[in-house]
Amino acid sequence: GAGVSQTPSNKVTEKGKYVELRCDPISGHTALYWYRQSLGQGPEFLIYFQGTGAADDSGLPNDRFFAVRPEGSVSTLKIQRTERGDSAVYLCASSFAGGGSYEQYFGPGTRLTVT
């Protein structure tokens, strides 16, 4: 079946602009996660949705970052007033549920470059 898909695959934006990154999880997966991966680092957690609600947003670095999942499927990560330090690969993952026993499957990521 189809895996996790993310669009766009690459996004170049100017400092100060607003960007939206989209994630389509695996069909039937109720849990969705956003991570950020900087060069040479492992992915770092940003936010986790169980259904439509954010169960844990403790990884969001500041209030410029916001994510929604209005119908419990597709999610959008929104970044306001982008800064050069936001440049990274933004990864989305999904799983059947949010508990520890469920495996997370990752999408290919969106490579964000802020110039």
Partner 1 sequence: QKEVEQDPGPLSVPEGAIVSLNCTYSNSAFQYFMWYRQYSRKGPELLMYTYSSGNKEDGRFTAQVDKSSKYISLFIRDSQPSDSATYLCAMRNYGGSQGNLIFGKGTKLSVKP
Residue 8 CB partners (closer than 8 Å, separation 6+): 21, 110
Nearer to partner 1, 4 or 19 (CB): 4
Query: Which residues are at the interface with partner 1 (CB under 8 A)?
Result: 4, 31, 33, 35, 40-45, 48, 50, 55-56, 59, 91, 98-101, 103-109, 111
Q: How far is the CB of 54 from partner 1 (least distance, A)?
A: 10
Half-sphere exposure at residue 12, Cβ-oriented, CA atoms within 13 angstroms: 1
Nearest approach, Cβ of 40 to partner 1 (angstroms)? 7
Nearer to partner 1 (CB atom), residue 1 or residue 99: 99
Instruction: Give the DSSP letter string of 36-100.
Output: EE-TTS--EEEEEEETTEEEE-TT--STTEEEE-TTSS-EEEEE-S--GGG-EEEEEEEESSSST
CB of 14 to partner 1, least distance (A): 23
Closer residue to partner 1, CB minimum distance, 14 or 53: 53
